[in-house]
A and B are shown apart, each in its own frame.
Chain A
Amino acid sequence: AGPMPGMRSPLSTDEPPTSRKDITGYNNFYEFGTDKSDPARNAGRLTTRPWTVKVDGMVARPATFDLDDILKAVTLEERIYRMRCVEGWSMVIPWVGFPLSALLSKVEPLGSAKYVAFETLVRPAEMTGLGGFIKVLDWPYREGLRLDEAMHPLTLLATGLYGESLPNQNGAPLRLVVPWKYGFKGIKSIVRISLTDKQPATSWNMQAPQEYGFYSNVNPAVDHPRWSQATERRIGEGSGLFAKRRPTLPFNGYAEQVAGLYAGMDLRKFY
């Protein structure tokens, strides 16, 4: 990983970041296997250069961007965000990246565009989890946001971590970070971004619609059908075995900035 410094951002939390070892060794990236340690072991073989991202759909200027050209055109920031996994654990991660809105404004979304759909690379030769006996998800991995969520200043496209380029297991070379939503919304190794007027299909919602909604905002009051979301275990805290669970915050502690996006919506229904 080469150096990739970012400017300090006032949007960063001052909570102590989780160790680099834990952030890069404990990952959900099913394209490289379902065990948390699989991505660190298997993602090394992924080729991340050259890398292009196709941005199309309801935009005035659709384009296929070379990632290095994007990186020359944007200002990289360091954003230290809380990350809450839907499984009940959390981390604090020093991302380096740029606001998604910076990329979207280059393609000029049309007035009719309401949603943004994302897709992960599918490259079986390098992604060991794509084969296998049972198909764990319907590839490619898909995620989506409402356009106003996508344009929110907190919404980040990350290209780095801890001041260096993003390790493959964390979604290199380009991943989404939406800190007020469960971690799985942060789609990794993005190759396509499409603007549409219909709510896009998303992978975990397709897999288990009653468990994973389109919105998936962090919400301690709405349990996952199979486990509680009221508390979380902060990875690396309390020397591991004796870590006390901490209460989960609405919108993962970003309510002040984002709760307005959902004014008047029943968050039990739109989970």
Chain B
Amino acid sequence: MAPARPRPPPRMPTWPVYLLGLVPAVYYFWQGIYGDLGADPLKVLEHALGEWALRFLIAGLAVTPLRRELGINLLKYRRALGLLAFLYVLLHLGVYAVLDQGLDWRSVGADILRRPYITVGMAGFLLLLPLAATSFNAAIRWLGGRNWSRLHKLVYPAALAGALHYVMLVKSWPLEPLVYAAIVLALLGWRLWRGRSHRAP
């Protein structure tokens, strides 16, 4: 397949992306406080934040394939998508530690060590930390573009960890976590396939 020619970046500035990205968080916290999240609101809030983190990770991972395959250039918004993903991971973790576990660090610690799905989720969070910490222009200059891109490949294992975390926590085989995992695998698989086909003669 011939790669589509990338079009120039869209004119819309990035701030509306941040603003729109915050809408789900505000919505769910608001609903939670006003008792509109059903019988187990904490669980709904926890899940919703985690799911939105996964959605933003996926959106960020889709930027390059969209540009290369369909010529849709959203590169300008990738940092916003990545930072939003990190914010939702942070909120997801915060709700778990503060509201769910009541800051009982012993039980949080035991969870991280003994529950594989939480271990995997925490690993994903740790992988995202250096990315969030180097998400400003000065960091790119300081690291050099090459090193910076290399470091930011950590988003691949982080996204895998996020998808796996979801699949591992459910009973039986509901469809949703499997769909997210399939999308993440497809986006990473595309990179693998592309890397191979470009090296081939």
Interface residue ranges, A against B (CB under 8 Å): 21-22, 25-26, 30, 34-37, 87, 89, 132-134, 136-137, 204, 207-208, 223, 226-228, 230-231, 233, 235-236, 239-245
* Chain A contacts for B45, CB-based, 8 A: 241
> Are B102 and A25 neighbours in the complex by a CB distance under 8 Å?
no
Closest CB pairs A-B (n = 6): A26-B39, A240-B41, A22-B39, A34-B174, A136-B172, A241-B32
A87-B171, A226-B116, A240-B35 given; A235·B40 CB < 8 A: yes
Main secondary structure of the interface of A (DSSP, over half): loop
* Chain A contacts for B99, CB-based, 8 A: 241-242
> Are A241 and B41 neighbours in the complex by a CB distance under 8 Å?
yes
Contact partner of B39 (CB less than 8 A), chosen from A34, A36, A136, A244, is: A36
CB distance from A85 to the nearest CB of B (A): 10
> Are B175 and A89 neighbours in the complex by a CB distance under 8 Å?
no
In the bound complex, how far is the Cα of B33 from the Cα of A227, in angstroms? Answer: 26
> Are A26 and B40 neighbours in the complex by a CB distance under 8 Å?
yes
Interface residue ranges, B against A (CB under 8 Å): 32-33, 35, 37-43, 45, 99-102, 107, 110-111, 114-117, 168-169, 171-175, 178
* Chain B contacts for A226, CB-based, 8 A: 115-117, 168-169
What are some 27 contacts across the A-B interface (CB < 8 A)? Answer: A21-B39, A25-B38, A26-B38, A26-B40, A87-B171, A89-B40, A132-B175, A136-B173, A137-B172, A226-B117, A226-B168, A228-B111, A228-B114, A233-B40, A233-B42, A235-B40, A240-B35, A240-B37, A240-B41, A241-B32, A241-B37, A241-B41, A241-B42, A241-B99, A242-B99, A244-B102, A245-B102
In the complex formed, the residue of A with least CB distance to B29 is A241
In the complex formed, the residue of A with least CB distance to B32 is A241
